[in-house]
Amino acid sequence: MNPLTGARIILGVSGGIAAYKAADLASKLVQAGAVVDVVLTRGAAAFIRPLTFQALTKRPVHDDVFEAWTEHSSGHVSLAAEADLLIVAPASANTIARLALGLADDFLGLLSLSTRAPLLLAPAMEHNMYLHAATRENIATLRDRGAAVVGPERGHLASGAEGEGRLSPVTTIIGAARQLLGRAGSLAGRYVVVTAGGTQEPLDPVRYLGNRSSGTMGFALAQAALDRGAAVTLVSGPTRLQSPVGARFVSVQTAAEMQNAVLSATESADVLIMAAAVSDFRPATSSHQKLKKSSLSDGPTVQLVENPDIVGSLIRPGLLKIGFAAETDDLLIHAAAKLHAKGLALIVANDAVATIGRDDSQAVLIEADRPPTVLPLLHKPDLASRIVDRIGELLQEVRE
């Protein structure tokens, strides 16, 4: 399950032009199922109206500096106690300084001292302010106290300058929030390596032998493992997908490169999930120059050699290996054979044509000593959740 679902999040918005982006962040958090209480600093209220957030979150917005001393005097205490996460986005230089000092003369200051929820800061400011020693030291102080910091990023700033100071994209802030909320989850302390996408085997510098895998399933599995507190390395063939926030991302092209990456990443791993569509064969030779039509005129032939079976040949005691079987016929028979041949704890079997490149999939989970679990048609993130939950149980069984 997505750790944002049902999470109580306080979104502190401070004064800066990026405050308008906090509206999108609030909206996306709500869409992900979080209950969001927005607190505006005095500076933020100059940039954006509370009504915007009220409409998006369907909850009252706290923007009154004196609220804590009036009839709502216990408001910040209960809000602070119920919060699972405090996000400050954008975090201005002023708000960062105030949080570092522990000032409590506004609602956000009161809340941040009262709550024991983790703090996620997304700084945004003019780059000279960000690079100033005072700001750097204040951020370092907050980090030392356990705050997570996302961004800022380099790029166009409202001043017209280019530099480090842009608020991280909303998707990045949300990814960091997921990771913080999930950190005590069922895979906390575990290290999971996931492979994703299809490999590409070059014929020449511009052509390759490949497949239609989009990487969606592997990326969803990496996110699901992060959501449950695992440390994750994602080894992926070429894809346009964004690596989930918090994953160590290793980009590869060929099966041989993927094998090397998997070998080194799994040295200390608990789990390997091979969701990649690894090319079983590669061209025996790959030309350094682009092949010309004239040189192939008497009927091109491509000689193929077999690639190593990455998961099948990997023998590491204690490593839980999970594989996938995308088949076009006799699904369960072929998948069960691969489970045994490759020494897998679990294989996820599905119909190749109905799955590859799609957003949803109907899968069967097959293990050696258990009847198959037939899952309904699910969106790949939901399927990934089911698979990763089962992996958590398997790890538990090994431990017991």
Of positions 3, 283, 323, 381, contacts ligand C5P by CB under 6 A: 323
Nearer to ligand C5P, 148 or 278 (CB): 278
The three state secondary structure string of 312-369 is HHCCCCCCEEEEEEEECCCHHHHHHHHHHHCCCCEEEEEEHHHHCCCCEEEEEEEECC
Instruction: Give the whole-angstrom CA distance, residue 47 versus residue 50.
Output: 10
Please report where in the chains the tokens 């590869």 appear, as a residue: 252
11 is an interface residue for ligand C5P by CB under 6 A: no
If binding is defined by CB under 6 A, does position 255 make contact with ligand C5P? yes
Catalytic residue among 211, 260, 307, 350: 211
Q: Does 278 bind ligand C5P (CB under 6 A)?
A: yes
Which is closer to ligand C5P, CB of 38 or CB of 365?
365
Total Cβ atoms within 10 A of residue 295: 10
Please say whether the beta carbons of 302 and 296 come within 8 A.
no
Closest separation in Å from C-beta 210 to ligand C5P: 13
3-state helix, strand, coil in the chain (%, to 5): 40, 25, 35
Stretch that binds ligand C5P, among 26-34, 128-136, 148-156, 320-328 (CB under 6 A): 320-328
Q: Which is nearer to ligand C5P, 255 or 336 (CB)?
A: 255
Q: Within 337-376, which residues bind ligand C5P (CB under 6 A)?
A: 338
Q: Strand pairing partners for 195? A: 235, 274
Residue 334 or residue 358: which is nearer to ligand C5P going by CB?
A: 334
Q: Is 211 a catalytic residue?
A: yes
Q: Residue 340: exposed, middle, or buried by beta-carbon count in 10 A (0-12, 13-18, 19+)?
A: exposed
Any contact of residue 274 with ligand C5P (CB under 6 A)? yes
Which residues are within 8 A (CB) of 211 and not within 5 positions of it... i.e. 6 or more apart?
198, 277, 279, 356
310 binds ligand C5P (CB under 6 A): yes
Task: Considering the complex, state which of residue 61 and residue 275 has its C-beta at the smaller distance from ligand C5P.
Answer: 275
User: Among all residues, which ones are annotated catalytic?
Assistant: 211
Binding site for ligand C5P (CB under 6 A): 255, 274, 276, 278, 280, 307, 309-311, 323-325, 338
